[in-house]
Amino acid sequence: MTSKINPEASTPATAAPKNGKRKRALTIVAAVVIIGGIAWLAYYFLYARWHQDTDDAYVQGNVVSIVPQTSGTVISIDADDGMKVEAGQALVHLDANDAQVAYDQSVANLAGTVRQVRGLYSTVDTGQAQIRAREVAVAQARADVSRRSGLVASGAVSSEELAHARDLLASAEAALSGSRGDLSRSRALVDATTLAKQPQVQVAASQLRQAYLNLQRSAIVAPVSGYVAKRQVQLGQRVQPGATLMTIVPLEQVWVEANFKETQLGHMRIGQPVEVHSDLYGGDVEYNGKVASLGLGTGSAFSLLPAQNASGNWIKIVQRVPVRIELDPKQLAEHPLRLGLSMSVDVAVRNQEGPSLAVARKIVKPVLTTLAYQKQLNDADALITQIIERNLPASARN
């Protein structure tokens, strides 16, 4: 007798294990989702909400233009793209023949003026001596008139002789008056001043100073230390004042300009710490910086053609505001950056004690300055002093 097996009898037994596995899988997925959500919430509340980041950030810096202060023909180029130069170093030389001629003429003019002014001082001394002599002559003539006046009545002296004595007295008095006028005019040119401060000498010194500066400016120097970039000048080129010959970039003074969305600026303050990464070095190099300033307008507000949002087809676009970030100079020296490089910026906004706008403060020193041209003026003043002393009398020099 053959037995029959019912296939429907085994279905509940096999379905139960399958439903159990599905429930366990769903439970695991739900647990993963819940744990992930909790982790994300913890990450957001503990870290993410206190950080604002952007990839719309680039390296900016000072670009110093090298321009001539006088016109001339380029006869020498001493620096090229990529070269490191120091402040005061000559970069371009112009033909200085005309400036040299003008300088030589100014030197001779100052020397001649000093000697002429020395003559004015001598004229004063001579005038004083002449007045003393005139005063003696007047006193003698007055005495002669007085003696003859008493002798006319007795007939010892004729009236004609008395009249002649009176004429001599008038002539002596007129000569004395003229000498005093000449002395007054001479004194007006030299009174209350030294030879070096006398106006004529000052004019000649100013002309020499200008001629000396023009001669020195035929050598165009670097106002700051940095690296030469974008050389445009060519040998033999005729250049005019104000024309850009090349530029210098001081790479130790670069900063990062990060363009944050306007919705990211609510908790951003000056002085907050910043982590910066460069695409040049990747994640291996991290720069530590701080927020230096928040932009006072969006990029569109300062564009050449600002947007006109009063039109009927207006579409709202989230605007971006530039934020300036200062970098650590030591890190910049170890890992130099170039202008225009892309950067990634992360600002920690937890500490909000700093201001959102810069606070007014007393300016102690300029933001940027150069002393490269001061030496030229000092040398010109030293040269003027030397020429004046060389044209003084030997007794005055000693």
Number of H helices, E strands in the chain: 7, 14
- Report the pLDDT value the prediction gives residue 37, as an integer from 0 to 100: 86
Q: Is the pLDDT of residue 226 over 90?
A: yes
CA dihedral angle for residue 264, residue 268, residue 270, residue 273, rounded to 10 degrees: -100
Name the more confident of 304 and 359: 359
- Quote the CA–CA distance of 216 and 390 in Å, as a whole number: 23
Confidence category of residue 139, pLDDT binned at 50, 70, 90: confident
Average pLDDT, the chain: 85
The class (CATH top level) of 64-95+218-249 is: mainly beta
pTM for this entry:
0.72
**Fold match between domain 64-95+218-249 and domain 254-301+317-361:** no
Q: Are strands 84-85 and 226-229 parallel, antiparallel or unpaired?
A: antiparallel
Domain layout of the chain by residue ranges: 64-95+218-249, 98-216+375-397, 254-301+317-361
For the segment 211-221, the average pLDDT, to the nearest whole number, is 94
Name the more confident of 31 and 148: 31
- Quote the CA–CA distance of 197 and 113 in Å, as a whole number: 12
Q: Is the pLDDT of residue 1 over 50?
A: no
**Length of the chain, in residues:** 398
Q: Choose the CATH number for 254-301+317-361 among 1.25.40.10, 2.60.40.420, 3.40.50.80, 2.40.30.170.
A: 2.40.30.170
